[in-house]
Structure 1
Amino acid sequence: MPEMPEVESLRRFLTERCVGRTVARVDLAAFTALKTYDPPLTALHGLPISQVRRRGKFLAMDCQGLWLVFHLARAGWLRWREELPSTPPRPGKGPLALRVTLDDDSGFELTEAGTTRKLAVHVVTDLEQVPHIASLGPDPMADDFTPEVLGEILGRAGRAQLKGVLRDQRLIAGIGNAYSDEILHAARLSPYKPANSLDEAGVGALYEVLRHELSEAMRRAEGLAAKDLKGEKKLGMKVHGRTGQPCPVCGDTVREVSFHDSSLQYCPTCQTGGKPLADRRMSRLLK
């Protein structure tokens, strides 16, 4: 799933290539992707693009006050093409969900792999009209996201696990499964540690690690073409997606805890005092 660093890089990529150009046409290939109907997609035709913004994991293109908003979800991606086909795509064929053609025939396509359709597209006059944007928590890279703000979030979360708090978009916008694993590994914290158990020094340390990990991820992604972002993200991971491999910090084996629709990775030596976390799903499978 693209998370804040990749989505921010896509924002810069689209800003460079789209701002100042005009939308020639927008073609919908996956009807389930479109979550709004008024204004219609055709209302974007002929409008100039003035800016591209990011809200959490959402991207939004401003076309004279009409916003094309999209969320790539778990299996979605953006593919840039210098020349798009002149014929509209056939609905329901392949991974293509949406195509945006600009006035020079370049543009981008939104695609989604697999059979679970979660990619979402909205056309709105106000970003707050997108329900999930209206409920987003603060951006962790914003100037006003301070250690005190993080401390308040963790305190209100009570004994909720740190992993879940970092991933909850209503609490902190933009961090997902991968970067929450990386942040907790770098901070040497168990993903199951209660959010309100950190003292002031612990909150400050987590804050510094969180900002550093996201900043470094954005630095690595800076200037990359959209097609190269996935590979860079994977290469930058120290524990996420590296089950069974040695921890680059201590050499212990990276472990995994599986859930019904996701998994987390961690290093026992670095994060849990050498004790493996219970993985009830795997235990049931081994019986």
Structure 2
Amino acid sequence: MPELPEVEALRAFLDAHLVGKEIARVLPVAISVLKTYDPPLGTVEGAEVTAVGRHGKYLDLTTTGTAGDLHLLIHLARTGWLRWQDPLPSGPPKPGRGPLALRAALTGGDGFDLTEFGTTKRLSVHLVHDPHEVPGVARLGPDPLAEDFGPEEFAALLAGERRQIKGALRDQRLIAGIGNAYSDEILHAARMSPFKPTGNLTPEETAALYAAMRATLREAVERSRGLAAGKLKSEKKSGLRVHGRTGAPCPVCGDTVREVSFSDSSLQYCPTCQTGGRTLADRRLSRLLK
């Protein structure tokens, strides 16, 4: 799933390639992709893209046209991606069983496709007057890289939580933009078990977790800076230390990276770095092995 660093890199890429250009047409190909109907999607035809923003994992394309300012909000969900094309293929896209979900064509002949693989279709596009009309945006917590989100604000958020830290980091209502992959990376950097209760964090541990969160996300954003959209997925995979690396040696201590499987996802961690050498049990079967 694209998370904050990849979405931020996409935002920067689109800011360089879209702003100042005119939209010729936006064509939904998958019936499930468009989540709004008023204003109609055709309203943005002839409008100029004037800004590209980000809200957590949402991309926000601001357009200015005869209807005033409108926002095209894109959430890539678990298996979605944005593919820039210059030029776009000639002829209209054909609906079918392929991954193409939406095509946005510019008057200059270039544009982008939104694709989504798999049978579970969650990629979403909203056209709204205000981004906060989208429920997922309205519910977002603070951006973890925002200048005004300091260690005190982070500690205050966690103070009222009574759950495992892995789940807290992934909750978009608490902190926006962190998903399964970077929560694993943050906890590895903080040398903390993913199942540690937030209520058990000491002030020193909370400060260390905040520092690990900011450093991990900033490093990932810097690695992605300037890359073309098509190279971001491979860069993310190559930059991860524990997530998706089950069975590989930990780059810090050399221990074997382990995995905990759930019904629809998994997490990875290093026992030496994070759990005092203890192995975490498969959560489908039991809790922490003691």
TM-score range, shorter chain: over 0.9
Secondary structure of 2:35 counterpart: coil
The answer for the alignment partner of 2:194 in structure 1 is 191
Kindly indicate whether the alpha-carbon contact (under 8 Å) linking 1:99 and 1:110 is maintained by their aligned counterparts in 2: yes
Deviation at 1:260, TM superposition (A): 1.0
- 1:143-201: CA deviations, max 9, x gaps? 1111111111111112x000000000000000000000000001000000011212222
Q: Give, in whole Å, the separation in 2 of the partners of 1:191 and 1:226.
A: 31
1:146 aligns with 2:145: no
Q: Measure, in 1, the Cα distance between the counterparts of 2:145 and 2:164.
A: 22
Give the aligned residue type for 1:143.
E
Structure 2: tracts of 5 or more residues without a match: none
Report the equivalent of 2:40: 40
Q: How does 1:45-124 map to 2 (within 5 A)?
A: 45-64=45-64, 65-124=69-128
The offset of 1:85, in angstroms, is 2.4
Partner of 1:33, secondary structure, is: coil
The partner residue of 1:281 within 267, 271, 284 is 284
Moved more, 189-198 or 133-142: 189-198
Give the distance between the partners of 1:280 and 1:249, measured in 2 at CA.
25
Q: Which amino acid aligns with 2:271?
A: P
Name the CA distance, whole Å, in 2 between partners of 1:210 and 1:203. Answer: 10
> Aligned equivalents of 2:33 and 2:96: distance in 1?
11
Aligned residues: 282
Question: Residues of 2 paired with 1:203 and 1:280: CA distance?
Answer: 25
Please give the alpha-carbon distance, in whole angstroms, between the structure 2 residues aligned to 1:163 and 1:280: 13
Q: Tell me, which stretches of 5 or more residues in structure 1 are unaligned?
A: none
2:3 aligns to what? 3
Q: What amino acid is the match of 2:225?
A: E
* CA-CA distance at 1:259 after TM superposition: 0.7
Instruction: Give the letter for the 2:45 counterpart.
Output: H
Partner residue in 2 for 1:130: 134
Task: Please give the alpha-carbon distance, in whole angstroms, between the structure 2 residues aligned to 1:51 and 1:280.
Answer: 43
Q: Secondary structure, in 3 states, of the residue corresponding to 1:179?
A: helix
Q: Distance in 2 between matches of 1:93 and 1:265?
A: 33
More helix by share: 1
Task: Say what the alpha-carbon RMSD is for the aligned residues.
Answer: 1.0
CA distance in structure 1 between the partners assigned to 2:127 and 2:283 by the alignment: 42
Hey, what's the Cα distance between the residues in 2 that align with 1:108 and 1:149? 38
**Identical columns (%):** 61
State the secondary structure of the residue aligned to 1:49.
Answer: strand
SS at match of 2:159: helix
